[in-house]
A and B are shown apart, each in its own frame.
Chain A
Amino acid sequence: MRRQRRGVLTWLLRLVRHRSWAQVRLLAVAGLVALLVAAEVATLAVLAGTSERLGVPATLLADAGRTRLTLTIGGLDRPLPEVVAHAERALTETLGVPVTTEVQATSPMYDVARPGKWLPGYAYVDRRDGVEDAAEIVAGTWPTSWAGGDAPVPVAVPAGGARALGIDLGETWTLEAQRDDGTDVVVRVVGLYDVPAPDDDHWSRDRLGGVGYEPDYPVPFSAGFLTTEAVGPFVVSAEAADAGAFEVRRAVVRADPDLTGVRAGDLPRLRRAVAGLAEEVAFRLEDDAGEVGLGSALSRVLREAATGVVVTRAGVAVATVLLLLVAVAALLQSARLVSEARAAEHDLLRARGASRGQVLAAVTLEAALLGVGVAALAPPIGLLGVRLLGGPLADAVADPLRDPLGALRALPGTAWAAGGIVAALLVVVSVVPLLRAPATFVEGQQARGRRGRRGSLARLAADLVAVGAAALGWTQLRAYGGLLVGSGERLAVDPVLAVGPALLLLAAALVGVRVLPLAGAALERLARRGRGLVVPLAGWDVGRRSHHAGAAVLLLTLAIGASTFGLTQRATWQRSQEDQAAFVVGPPVVVEDAHTAAVDARALAVAGADPQPVLRDDARVVRRTADEGGEAVSGMGVELVAAPGPARATLDRGRLADEGGTEVAALPAAPPSGGVPLGDDVLGLQATVEISGRLLHEATALSLRAILEDEAGALSTVSLGQRTALETEEQVAALLPDVRLPVAPESQQASADALAEAVAGRSALRLVGVQAFLVATDNALLWAPWESYDLTVEVRDLAVLRPAGDVAAVPAERWASGLTLDAARAGIVADPLEIPAGGWTPIGDAMGGEKTAMLGDGARLHFIGTVNLLPEAPAIGALVAWEPVEDVPAVLTADLVERLRDATTRGFEIRVSQAAVRAVVADVVPWIPATSGGSAVAVDHTTLARAVLQRGGLGPFVDEWWVDAADPEAYLAALPPDLDGTPRAARATSIDGAVAASLEHPVRVAVPLVLALLALGGALVAGIGFVVHTAVTVRERDLELAQLRAVGLTRGRLTAALALESGMLAGLGVVLGVGTGAGVAALVGHLLVVAPDGGPPIPPVELVVPPTVGWLAAGIVAVVAALTLAVAAAQRTADPASLLRAGDGR
Chain B
Amino acid sequence: MTAWPAVTTGPATGVDLAVVAEGVSRTYRSSGGDVHALRDVSFAVPRGQLVALVGRSGSGKTTLLNCVGGLDRPTSGRVVVGGQEVTALDERGRTRLRRDELAFVFQTFGLVPMLSAAENVGLPMRLRRVAPAEREARVAHLLELVGLAPHAAQRPSELSGGQQQRVAIARALANSPRLLIADEPTGQLDAETGATIMALLRSVVRSEQMTAIISTHDASLMAMADRTLRLADGRLVEDTGA
Contact = CB atoms under 8 A, between A and B. Distances in A.
Interface in A1044-1070: 1044-1051
Contact of B126 (A533, A545, A1051, A1140): A533
B124 interface: yes
A1046 B129 contact: no
A544 interface: yes
B108 A544 contact: no
B113 interface: yes
A1040 interface: yes
A1140 B66 contact: yes
B72 A1137 contact: yes
Interface string A1114-1146: 000000000000000000000111001101100
Contact of A1048 (B72, B114, B124, B135): B124
B6 interface: no
A1045 B95 contact: yes
A892 B23 CA distance: 102
B110 A1048 contact: no
Contacts of A1143: 107-108
A531 interface: yes
Nearest to B119: A540
Contact of B66 (A529, A531, A545, A1137): A1137
Contacts of A1140: 62, 66, 71, 106, 110, 183
Interface string B99-142: 11001101110101111000100011011011110010000000
A981 interface: no
Contacts of A261: none
B62 A1141 contact: yes
Contact of A1044 (B92, B108, B123, B132): B123
Interface residues on B, range: 35 or more
B110 A1046 contact: yes
B132 A1047 contact: no
Contacts of B103: 1047
B31 to A, nearest CB: 14
Contacts of A1043: 104, 106, 110, 112
A1140 B66 CA distance: 9
A1048 B127 contact: yes
A785 interface: no
Given A533-B126, A1040-B113, A1047 B66 contact: no
B36 to A, nearest CB: 15
Interface in A529-574: 529-533, 536, 540-541, 544-545
Interface in B47-104: 62-63, 66, 69, 71-72, 91-92, 95-96, 98-100, 103-104
Contact of A531 (B92, B106, B131, B175): B131
Contacts of B166: none
A545 to B, nearest CB: 6
Nearest to B71: A1137
A1129 to B, nearest CB: 14
B171 interface: yes
Given A1048-B100, A1050-B92, A1143-B107, A1040 B126 contact: no
B127 A1047 contact: yes
Contacts of A1047: 98-99, 103-104, 110, 123-124, 127, 171
Nearest to B110: A1043
Contact count band on A: 20 to 34
A6 interface: no
Nearest to B115: A540
A531 B136 CA distance: 11
Contacts of B66: 1137, 1140-1141
Contacts of B98: 1046-1048
A1045 B69 CA distance: 12
A352 interface: no
Contacts of B71: 1045-1046, 1136-1137, 1140
Contact of A1046 (B69, B130, B131, B132): B69
A533 B112 CA distance: 13
A528 interface: yes
Given A544-B114, A1045-B95, A1141-B66, A533 B127 contact: yes
Contacts of B100: 1048
A248 B126 CA distance: 106
B99 A1048 contact: yes
A1048 B130 contact: no
A532 B114 CA distance: 17
Contacts of B115: 540
Given A533-B126, A536-B126, A1046 B112 contact: no
A1044 B71 CA distance: 12
Contacts of B99: 1047-1049
Contacts of B113: 1040
A1044 to B, nearest CB: 7
Contacts of A1039: 108
A309 B92 CA distance: 66
Nearest to A545: B114
Interface in B185-223: none
Interface of B: 62-63, 66, 69, 71-72, 91-92, 95-96, 98-100, 103-104, 106-108, 110, 112-115, 119, 123-124, 126-127, 129-132, 135, 171, 175, 183
21 contacts: A531-B130, A531-B131, A531-B132, A532-B126, A532-B129, A533-B127, A1040-B112, A1043-B106, A1043-B112, A1045-B71, A1045-B95, A1046-B98, A1047-B124, A1047-B127, A1048-B96, A1049-B95, A1050-B92, A1137-B72, A1140-B66, A1140-B71, A1143-B108
Top 10 A-B residue pairs of the complex, sorted by shortest distance between their CB atoms: A1048-B99, A1043-B110, A1137-B72, A533-B126, A544-B114, A531-B129, A1137-B71, A1137-B66, A1048-B98, A1048-B127
Given A531-B131, A545-B114, A1046-B71, 6 more contacts: A531-B135, A540-B112, A1044-B112, A1047-B103, A1048-B95, A1048-B175
